[in-house]
Amino acid sequence: MDMKEGLLIRWLVSVGDTVEKDDPIMEIETDKVTMESESPASGKVLALYYGEGETIPVLKILGYIGEEGEQVPGVPPDMEDAAVPEPEISNVLTQPVEPPAPEPVPEAVDYEYDVAIIGGGPAGYVGAIKAAQLGGKVVLFEKDTLGGTCLNRGCVPTKTYVKTAEYIEHIKRASERGIVNDPDTSVDMPKVVGYKNTVVSKLTGGVSYLLKSYDVDVISGEAAAKSAHEVECGDKVFTAAAMILCGGSKPGIPPIPGIDHKAALTSNEILDLGILPNNLVILGGGVIGCEIACAFSAFGTKVTIIEMLPNLVANMGKKVSGVIRKALEAQGVIVHTETRVTAIEDDGGKPVVSAGDTKIKTDVVLVATGRDADLTCLGALSGQIATERGKVIVNDKLETNIPGVYAAGDITGGMMLAHTAFKMAETAAENAVGGDAVCRLNVVPAGLYTIPEAAAVGLDEEDARAKAGDKLSVGYFPLSANGRSLASGEPEGFVQVMVDTEYGEILGVRIVGTDAVEMIAEPAALMAIEATADEVADTIIHAHPTYAEAFMEACADALGRCIHLPRR
């Protein structure tokens, strides 16, 4: 805020170029930082007033971006009365362009609703509330229970189980802190399920109340699009000016012989088991598989994970995968990687899993091999709406190839996360009622709720190295050197920061440890506003002792000046 002037190093655009909001348009240098500066809007570059190499006071108008043909001053507005030398670069588009003839205004159609939304999961209910906040009359269709997979069968139930597992872990380790107790534990599975259902009920009830408070009409029943402006539910057809498809996702079922065994369950059913299985084989070592393994292992089940890739939770990077595998194995989970399941057979009513050269007899098989978009809500628009590999294709405004029909959440593929669906739904809702919002998902955090937790945002080390090359510096701070972690008796884990040293840009962060998913919020926020590693290390003061200060230490390590690590 105390900068007075900056040097314009180079323009990254020319007059006449078309740019999108947040595209890099120039490089500038000040006494504090050298950085790229981004476009404040989308449009065409109409004027650039200053040449490369000029030192310019802050708060000057450097140029204009607008619609083609729009008239702008020939010189900077604050210098119109002064003699201004001709810049060396192109200046202004001086020839006006004849605007196109206006489109004929279609006759107004009297629709029942402004927006119809199919699906009441994280995308659907958030989209409905956002559209209502913006003044729209909204109808929401849900075939099951409000809240979708996240509240009813995914995020929230799983985290409830993992928290129960944490209690068990703390009880077992209490004697290390001088607490005299009986470390032997067992679980009452019906009570575990009942507690989970109570949590779910409170949250789904809260969603229902929110929708009611915004006068959203909620229709129970399976609905599907009949046309771009019609939704059919039961024997009734509802009309709306715009539509948002939020069909969500369903468990992906791999083509394995015997996968239809009665004891082969998906994540939809596993969390309603009233009896604790003695043995559980999990097909898939992704987020769902690892979280369920962590919970049921703590409950007393013998758990085996079978993953055909070389690493668990492969999307989080090798360092995270290595620590999570070690932690699960320490909890008694058997892990097979680079192993393919070829069949599930039956032996006296129990499934026998053939994996590689091994046959594993078990009580229950969890199929956790990913999720597929649920396209049933497309209805009559199936075949008209563009899809790719079973996912609906949308643009950055979340609109499909059919004008006025939007899609948000898991149905579009990508990062199938509730918070991603939230953001997509808000953008789709704003545009559905006449807005012009753009959805940017370049900085999205992801979490793994195991013991310990893991979290990620941005690029992992391998991808960051491919992008930055020899300009990449990796900062690493082990939680065994963090005061709060040691005091809590939880020293497992680390914070890893990938930094492009040219501008100090934080390319990615990986965290493993207690409260990692809470900790990732700070790096994600700072990356979104493009704070540099230098600013994190030198400017932001973290409370001590906290887990969060390990992020600051990792940033300092990337710059070669971490106080609480030995000299390299």
Which residue numbers are catalytic?
544
Instruction: Identify the CA nearest to 491 among candidates 176, 41, 134.
Output: 176
| Backbone phi and psi for residue 48, each to the nearest 5 degrees, phi listed first | -135, 115
DSSP assignment of 339-367: --EEEEEEETTEEEEEETTEEEE-SEEEE
Start-to-end Cα distance in the chain: 34
For CA atoms 435, 524, 547, 1, the dihedral sign is negative
Burial annotation 349-380 (CB, 10 A radius, 16+ → b, else e): eebbbbbeeeebebbbbbbbbebbbbbbbbbe
Please, which residues bridge with residue 109 across strands? none
Helix (H/G/I), strand (E/B), else coil: 476: strand
Other Cβ atoms closer than 10 A to 40: 11
Instruction: Identify the H or E element spanning 206.
Output: helix 189-213
Q: Is 517 left (phi over 0), alpha (psi -120 to 50) or beta?
A: alpha
Residue 23 to residue 237: CA distance in whole angstroms: 43
Residue 558 to residue 497: CA distance in whole angstroms: 7
**What's the Cα-to-Cα distance from 253 to each of 74, 284, 362, 365, 367, rounded to whole Å?**
63, 11, 19, 12, 7
Residue 178 to residue 182: CA distance in whole angstroms: 12
Residue 211 to residue 141: CA distance in whole angstroms: 12
429, 130 in Cβ contact below 8 A? yes
Please, which residues bridge with residue 508 across strands? 458, 498
Residue 520 to residue 539: CA distance in whole angstroms: 19
DSSP assignment of 272-295: T-SS--SEEEEE--SHHHHHHHHH
